[in-house]
Amino acid sequence: MIKTSNPDENISVVILAAGFGMRLRNNKPKALVGIADNKTILDYQVENLSKHVGIDNIIVVVGYKKEFVMEQHPELNFVYNESYVQTNTGKSLLKALKKIKNSSVLWLNGDVVFDERIIPELINKAKTTKASCVLVDNKRCGEEEVKYNLDNGGYISSISKEVKNPKGEALGINLVIEKDLPPLIKNLNLINDQDYFEKAIANAIYKEGIKFLPVNTGGLFCSEVDFPEDLAAVKKYLSILSKEIVLT
């Protein structure tokens, strides 16, 4: 595993990996789906994250077949969502955030494959603007994507799958700064068991006045693996990337 010599110890990371991944037609936790070079989605996430944050600061929320995830990465910290069948990403995130104190938190879905340069971009943007952040891509979106819109100040005004006339897609990687953590936890407590964490973000914006800044990928690769075609696109990206690395 590649690690940076100067990881940011003031950032905690949560990977939400409790779910099934049934749309990929496999019987593994989605984070353990293989994508290239005998590596899983989780392998790539941990490799990229550990270049920028302390490995001891990474928490994985597990549920479905949790022992397989835990055996693959025993160096990580784990939180078990025993209600993973009845709950969604909102309650999984809540379980992890209750374990974290005195830290900003970067969290991501356990099915996101991303260019490692995205992580320092999010961290630096949060530090310089002193605002929580949502990674986004400005593009046309379908019904399944989580979409967002902006207020007049350029901050996120709405975020959900139901947003009308959206600016683009929210990609499942987010960072909440330390001062915004308590109101986010409050709203994660209040949402329904089957709600995604984006519902708590939306409520925290509306009810608590939290500012979430959209951070665009700037063309860097980032994709959630929901369907077989997503998996094919990720494998193609990683194949091209490996050839570029060999050439350099």
Domain ranges of the chain: 11-247
Which of the residue ranges 27-31, 63-67, 155-159 would you say has the lowest mean pLDDT? 27-31
Q: What is the pLDDT of residues 76-102, one digit of tens each?
A: 999 999 999 999 999 999 999 999 989
8 band by pLDDT with thresholds 50, 70 and 90: low
Beta bridge partners of 8: 53
Q: What percent of the chain is predicted at pLDDT more than 90?
A: 81
9 band by pLDDT with thresholds 50, 70 and 90: low
243 band by pLDDT with thresholds 50, 70 and 90: confident
pLDDT at 173: 98
What gap in Å lies between CA 229 and CA 231, rounded to an integer?
5
pLDDT at 1: 41
Cβ-Cβ contacts under 8 Å for 96 (sequence gap 6 or more): 14, 16, 59, 61, 79, 107
Q: Which fold has domain 11-247?
A: Spore Coat Polysaccharide Biosynthesis Protein SpsA; Chain A (3.90.550)
Our separate counts of H helices and E strands in the chain read 7, 13
Instruction: Say which DSSP state 220 is in.
Output: -
Residue 77 main-chain phi, psi, to 5 deg:
-95, 145
Residue from 34, 39, 37, 28 nearest 62 by CA = 28
Calculate helix-pair angle for 181-190, 89-97, nearest 10 degrees.
Answer: 140
Residue from 138, 207, 142, 196 nearest 172 by CA = 196
139 band by pLDDT with thresholds 50, 70 and 90: confident
What gap in Å lies between CA 237 and CA 239, rounded to an integer?
5
pLDDT at 245: 60
Which of the residue ranges 13-22, 23-32, 59-68, 224-233 would you say has the lowest mean pLDDT? 23-32
pLDDT at 27 over 90: no
226 band by pLDDT with thresholds 50, 70 and 90: confident
User: Is 50 strand, coil or helix?
Assistant: coil
What gap in Å lies between CA 2 and CA 144, rounded to an integer?
34
pLDDT at 108: 98
pLDDT at 5 over 60: no
Residue 114 main-chain phi, psi, to 5 deg:
-145, 155
Burial of residue 13, with CB atoms counted within 10 A of its CB: 0-12 exposed, 13-18 middle, 19 or more buried: buried
pTM of the model: 0.93
Average pLDDT on 208-225 reads 95
